Structure 1
Amino acid sequence: MMVVLGVILKHYGIIGQAFVDQSSILVFKISLPVLLGMSMIRTDIATVFDPATIASASLSTLLVFVLLTLTAFVFVKNPRDKGVYVQGAFRGNLAVVGLALCVNLYGEAGIAKASIVMSILSLVYNILSIYTLTTTLTDKKLNVIAMMVNITKNPLIIGIVLGIMINLLHIPVHPVLMQTGDYLGQLTLPLALLCIGATLSFSDMKGTKTVASAAVIAKLIVTPIIITSIGYASGFSPMDLGILFLMSSTPTAAASYIMVKAMKGNETLAANIIVMSTVASLLTVSIGLAILKSFALI
């Protein structure tokens, strides 16, 4: 409903692009890192840290990435669009939509477990995105050191790491700071979902090509089926399987557009993939959850 509200508020001019731009920065650099950090501080890390779930999510994402790279030769004729297609088809909006879905289904426990999985997958996403865009959009050699330095500067990673350190080292945090952190964290999901709704542009979808449609199908249908099936075959608990499904079925992350634009790629294709996947995910996630619940898998 918050996404729909964002669409309505933008339509009536109550919020505009300036609001979206500033709110996105606030969420990405401040409130979301604080939310994740606060979750880590309060979490029994030994309980929620599950190497099997993390390994399965990471390896299955890598498998999907390889398959997408191969299918790019079939669906994408323009060599410079291959990386845009691949990134749009595997890089999900974990930090906003993924966490929101997990909170709705599992509450505070969902944030804790999802945050651990998200932190690792964020690293995997960044590495694979930089690799596929660098190899298809530039003639430069991949600079591994520079890539790792950029990843360590990611506010989300910083928030999670600081939260884990405070937790494991038993560093005392003043109640006033904890309360302030809670207030900031509570801004995250409603503000981020409003921004997603406000950025939806249905007019941009009219000129979408086959490549965008293929990427959306891969992102919202093929990828969740592969990753959830691997989790089921691995014997995951209902909650772990549910989190794995929700994380893998999120629409394409807005960060994919930013990276493509920065590297002078096909930004129109990247934007169309984001818009189409965001709209379609409202249906595909609901259907996926209904199917999993009907078989008592989650």
Structure 2
Amino acid sequence: MLAPVVLVIALGWSLVRLGFLSSTAMGEINRLTYWVGLPALLVVRISDATPSFERLGGLLVVLFGATAAVIALASVVAWWGRLPDRSAVTFVHGAFRGNLVFVGLPVVVYAFANTPQAAAIEASVLVAIVPVVIAYNTLAVTLMQVPGRGDPLAALQRVGRGLVSNPILLATLLGLALALAGVRMPTAVDRTLAALGQMALPLALIGIGGGLYASRMGRGQYPWAWVAALMKTALGPAVGWLIGQWVGLGDAEMRVALTLLACPSAAASYVLVAQMDGDVPLIASIILLSHFMALPAMIGVLALTA
């Protein structure tokens, strides 16, 4: 089920390893995917299928509940370990903020391809990602302000500007508006966006593989990086499973929720931590380790919940 995901990620790793693609080229590929491929994919997929709001509600309960639990537990661990403030908030940040768009979305799409519920699940996931990503960004900025550095209002304003200009968010809202209004795009526009969207998922996975090769372990506190990465890829899904059982989440929705919770730490965390004077080596180590841990975690989730 995950063979295409693994093979395309391995291809990205190999292309960079062999020098076929440079780090500059990988950056351009990621930018193309983020600004063109993924938005086109989202508009087409969401506008063609109305999401099941019953599925969506259950997904959001599990995703938000598990995220809140991980933040609380990671905060306790950081306090118990007496981490310095800048390291503590970085530790918590890396433990909860997942890479849903570039990792979670491709894995879910491929995992549910050619299944009867594929269209409904995919539409629900595409819409569910938006409020979660917004929450991730807001929580991340708020968390990084805990040690009292910088202007909180200015930081939140930057996040707000980023959200209103975010192509993923804007494309999802446009697709959802078209779906709810029952409006069909002109054939030429629909086919153009569909063609552009076809490149999004493979390029995203190639970017992940290339990023894994290009990344280097930061000279941070290695034991804490391991703990945060383990919390991100294992504790989150475990808590999500408990919440899912409690709310009676269906089998398909449970697989989706746990897969998204098993996503590695978001690469965007590195930029935010660097800008807000966090522990940069620690977050770099967490991101790298969580990417290596996420793949077996996702395979385990999909196998155990099948």
Q: Normalising by the residue count of structure 1, what TM-score does the alignment of the two structures yield?
A: 0.90
Q: Give distance in 2, aligned partners of 1:118 and 1:238.
A: 19
RMSD: 2.1
Displacement of 1:75 after TM fit?
3.6
Gaps of 5+ in 1: 294-298
Q: Residues 268 and 45 (structure 1 numbering): CA distance in 2 closer, same or farther, change over 3 Å?
A: same
Q: Which amino acid aligns with 2:280?
A: E
Match of 2:140 in 1: 129
Deviations 1:27-86 (A, max 9, x none): 112211221221110112356663233233223322322222222212462211122111
Evaluate the alpha carbon distance shift between residue 223 and residue 49 of structure 1 in structure 2; reply closer, same or farther with a 3 A threshold. closer
- What is the rounded CA distance, in whole Å, between the counterparts of 2:218 and 2:149 in structure 1? 29
Question: 1:111-140 deviations in whole A, cap 9, x for unaligned?
Answer: 212112211211111111111112237243
The aligned residue for residue 74 of structure 2 is 68
Q: How does 1:125-164 map to 2 (within 5 A)?
A: 125-136=136-147, 138-142=149-153, 144=156, 147-164=159-176
Match of 1:59 in 2: 65
Alignment of 1:70-149 (within 5 A): 70-75=76-81, 77-107=83-113, 108-109=118-119, 110-136=121-147, 138-142=149-153, 144=156, 147-149=159-161
1:228 positional shift: 1.9
The answer for the alignment partner of 1:244 in structure 2 is 257
Partner of 2:190: 178
Q: Please state whether the residue corresponding to 2:305 is helix, strand or coil.
A: helix
Local SS of the residue matching 1:171? coil
CA deviation vs aligned residue, 1:276-296 (integer Å, no higher than 9, x gap): 111122222222322223xxx
Aligned equivalents of 1:289 and 1:49: distance in 2?
Answer: 18
- 2: CA distance between counterparts of 1:111 and 1:8? 29
Asked whether the equivalents of residues 75 and 214 of structure 1 are also in contact (C-alpha less than 8 Å), the reply is no
State how far apart, in whole Å, the 1-side matches of 2:237 and 2:46 are.
Answer: 26
Q: Deviation at 1:235? A: 0.6
Hey, what does 1:258 align to over in structure 2?
271
Residue identity opposite 1:125 in structure 2 = Y
* 1:276 and 2:289 correspond: yes
Provide Cα deviations, 1:254-273, integer angstroms capped at 9, x if missing partner. 11112112223222222211
Find the aligned partners of 2:249 and 2:150 in 1 and give their Cα distance. Answer: 42
> Are the equivalent residues in 2 in contact too, given 1:31–1:187 (CA < 8 A)?
yes
> Mean alpha-carbon deviation: is it higher for 132-141 or for 44-53?
44-53
How many residue pairs are counted as aligned between the two chains?
293
Aligned residues of 1:83 and 1:137 also touching (Cα < 8 A): no
**TM-score, with structure 2 as normaliser:** 0.88
Aligned residues with identical type, % of pairs: 26
- Of 180, 193, 199, the residue aligned with 1:168 is 180
- Check whether the contact 1:137–1:265 (CA below 8 A) recurs between aligned residues: no
Contact residue 40 and residue 112 of structure 1 kept, 8 A: yes
